Amino acid sequence: MRIEAADEELARRLASEAGRELLTLRDKLGFSSAAQLRREGDLRGNDVIMSGLLEARPRDAILSEEGSGERGRDGRSRLTAERVWIIDPLDGTREYGEAGRDDWAVHVALWAHGELALGVVALPAQDLILSSEQPPPKPEPGDRVRIAVSRSRPPGFLSAVVEALDAELVPMGSAGAKVSAVVLGKVDAYVHAGGQFEWDSAAPVAIAEATGLHASRIDGAPLTYNNPNPRLDDLVVCRAELSAPILGAIAKSR
């Protein structure tokens, strides 16, 4: 799927602006009230991206975690739209509210004509932006398989995967941060189950696929976006040669 160069420039600019706003808010409010910081962060990040999209692409539909009405999770007009921006203005809200953590992200993705067309992930606290239009080199394998997992909700079946691959688990926050860690070769895989939505994975998956990585559901089914129900509960992103052993170990454990 080809997109306009201006779409990538817009996505990168909005992710960057939202990231700077989130860093400024962190400095201003501090960490004495994590709940307030997280709440304000979600709203400010969403405002930056939403206002930018409405100004630059007023005819496009939007699916945002923090949106409402037609631009929220219950909107229906996006289902007949040709272009839908899928955004998560603050992925890893828990980590954003904890001092010293850099594993939170800003996601901006574009779904067009039936498939993911573009993804940009900003990791503001790491001073890093990744884009599917300018993907990094394909990562090289490490000495031992490393699997990124949720800090708070690691899937129970992962013990079978760890045993099958003699792997090491690496807990971290934010789906965007975990997929980015695979893209950059810091880990070899990311496995998730137990609840996510399309905005959690759209932008990171677009980048992973552009980098030549495997991305699917945990049963191997393809990931699809802009569905009537935006829940997308599970995800495997990994180096291509690990997909068969990981998916096989998951299948045997269930």
146-252: same fold as 5-131? Answer: no
Stated pTM of the model: 0.95
- pLDDT tens string 160-217: 899 999 999 999 999 999 999 999 999 999 999 988 999 999 999 999 999 999 999 9
Question: Is the pLDDT score of 2 beyond 80?
Answer: no
Residue numbers belonging to the annotated binding site for Mg(2+): 65, 88, 90-91, 200
Task: Report domain extents, the chain.
Answer: 5-131, 146-252
- pLDDT tens string 23-62: 999 999 999 999 999 999 999 999 999 999 999 999 999 9
Q: Which distant-in-sequence residues (6+ apart) come within 8 Å of 104 by Cβ?
A: 90, 91, 92, 93, 95, 96, 123, 124, 125, 173, 174, 176, 177
State which CATH number among 3.40.50.720, 3.40.190.80, 3.30.300.30, 3.40.50.970 fits the domain covering 146-252: 3.40.190.80
State which CATH number among 3.30.930.10, 3.40.50.620, 3.90.600.10, 3.30.540.10 fits the domain covering 5-131: 3.30.540.10
- Please tell me the predicted confidence (pLDDT) of residue 141: 85
Tell me what the mean pLDDT of segment 87-111 comes to: 97
Residue numbers belonging to the annotated binding site: 65, 88, 90-91, 200
